[in-house]
Chain A
């Protein structure tokens, strides 16, 4: 549901951009933060398009959606741990970069746990998983005001089997867009 809201938001942005017939690509490169964007002058950022190009624009938003879906992957945690693992940091850096480029998007970080242990302790643990994920993104420059957290503890498992594989999948910080 939240993904759909995010999508609609993005599509709305595209639509409003298209209405002026000129699509302006937001230029974050001036802030020196954009990864993979070439330095260009202002003129290059304005692209003349016709009706076919609008359709192409919509498609490229699909690509952006796909990009987001692949970017906002769950962050996984070790058993009974809530510190961000080294191997998850590269993924969080990509998420931070995307959020810095898309400053209109706010994100809710959900902290989840596997099914073992008490509901209460797991809610506290999920809280800390969401918090440490948020802290890491804030340390990379994402404003804290755009990052909300919530803990679901072990109440909303994504994977329902009672196996190590499922438990690993369920020990996660999950992202959904908010507002």
Chain B
């Protein structure tokens, strides 16, 4: 509690006063999908984001929105100097057709009486000459970034019919000198904050599906324990400690159970604990090492690492611990699996040619793909929609947190170079 740096981060998450008011728009259910993101022959949508009018921050807001949309790989942009129409001029499709633009984002902002910022954002369909989205937002002036991400969320959803991840967070372990701390940042690497600086070693954290809690193993006074950080109460409690090696895995999608591994009965096996009642159930009963459990989004299966074949490989079992089957047969060191929340893929780190790389595989064992080829790449974690992956890489020398699409495109570092960063975990 006292050692947790509260910051105003949650305040930022919660207090972001997004009084989003729909202003008489066409029925959402009947809305057209402009980009079918699941289409294999996907064509990028040409989009223009005009700098927002009314306040000095308007340009920054448009930049953030552009950057969010660009990172998805679903959109294509043209230089804004080519724009004919200004932010304040009424939308006219004839200004955009010659530029090959299909969708236009415009917005106006104004400082309100209480000092907050009021924004109206609109999305237009150039071909149909229609207004797809018009929404009013209100936010504190120093929360431009989360506000802009929220607007980008709505634009993305209006154009694709899917939920986005622009307001999501990535938590990771940062090492500054000898000390290892938990850090939290926006998905784009901005607004980074140190949140917990406690314990000798803290392992990769895992989110609760509602984004209000983190679970992680930490070594305190020569004892491993699993700790629960509650963002609402800004407090940390010990959830479980057997006195042996207890390692937090993923939380089940219903938010009720934390999967973990423990040597409580001699060998590291998979367990689950009910987060409310703290009731513990053992799920594997082997004489070998079983670690790193992650549950499928339907809550029926668990992927985990076992060395029952003498080397670490991925296995899938039922949620009750029965019907274990081997998933990976390529390579002789496959670890740290995470099941996509979309359900269709499992991402993991495997050794190939003496180095570790990120791979995806379907839960039925087909379609194995290697996504990285430079340096060592480990500890992958999916974005909430399963379309992006964050991971650790040492390709630039010092370990850092990277992101890429789930097919391996657009790989870039998002953590600063002055700290060793690893163990990233993307909020749900």
Does the CB pair B222–A80 fall under 8 Å? no
For A152, what are the chain B residues with a Cβ–Cβ distance below 8 Å?
201, 219
With A118-B336, A121-B312, A152-B201 already in contact, the answer to whether A108 and B268 are too (CB < 8 A) is: no
Complex Cα distance, B223 from A127, in Å, reads 12
Closest to B312 in A: A121
Q: Does B284 contact A (CB under 8 A)?
A: no
Chain B interface extent, by class? 20 to 34
Q: Does B393 contact A (CB under 8 A)?
A: no
Contact of B203 among A108, A120, A125, A149 (CB under 8 A): A120
Q: Does B421 contact A (CB under 8 A)?
A: no
Complex Cα distance, B119 from A157, in Å, reads 53
Does the CB pair A120–B267 fall under 8 Å? no
Does the CB pair A128–B222 fall under 8 Å? no
Closest to A110 in B: B222
Contact of B268 among A117, A124, A150, A155 (CB under 8 A): A124
Complex Cα distance, B266 from A66, in Å, reads 34
Q: Does A151 contact B (CB under 8 A)?
A: yes
For B307, what are the chain A residues with a Cβ–Cβ distance below 8 Å?
80, 121
Does the CB pair A128–B336 fall under 8 Å? no
Does the CB pair B245–A151 fall under 8 Å? yes
1/0 contact string of B138-160 vs chain A (CB within 8 Å): 00000000000000000000000
1/0 contact string of B331-344 vs chain A (CB within 8 Å): 00101100000000
Q: Does A23 contact B (CB under 8 A)?
A: no
Does the CB pair A80–B311 fall under 8 Å? yes
Complex Cα distance, B305 from A43, in Å, reads 61
Complex Cα distance, B219 from A120, in Å, reads 13
Complex Cα distance, B351 from A118, in Å, reads 10
For A151, what are the chain B residues with a Cβ–Cβ distance below 8 Å?
224, 245
Closest to A118 in B: B335
Complex Cα distance, B292 from A150, in Å, reads 19
1/0 contact string of B231-243 vs chain A (CB within 8 Å): 0000000000000
Does the CB pair B201–A121 fall under 8 Å? no
With A127-B245, A131-B263 already in contact, the answer to whether A121 and B335 are too (CB < 8 A) is: yes
Does the CB pair A119–B263 fall under 8 Å? no
Complex Cα distance, B311 from A84, in Å, reads 18
For A92, what are the chain B residues with a Cβ–Cβ distance below 8 Å?
none
Does the CB pair A118–B222 fall under 8 Å? no
Q: Does A123 contact B (CB under 8 A)?
A: yes
Q: Does B261 contact A (CB under 8 A)?
A: yes
List, sorted by A's number, 5 A–B pairs whose CB atoms are closer than 8 Å: A117-B333, A117-B356, A120-B292, A121-B336, A151-B245
Known interface pairs A117-B312, A117-B351, A124-B268; 10 further A-B residue pairs with C-beta atoms within 8 A, sorted by A's residue number: A80-B311, A117-B356, A118-B378, A119-B203, A120-B335, A120-B336, A121-B336, A123-B203, A128-B268, A150-B223
Binding site for A on B (CB under 8 A): 201, 203-204, 219, 222-224, 244-245, 247, 261, 263, 266-268, 289, 291-292, 305, 307, 310-312, 333, 335-336, 349, 351, 356, 378-379, 423
The 3 closest A-B CB pairs, nearest first, are A124-B268, A118-B335, A127-B245
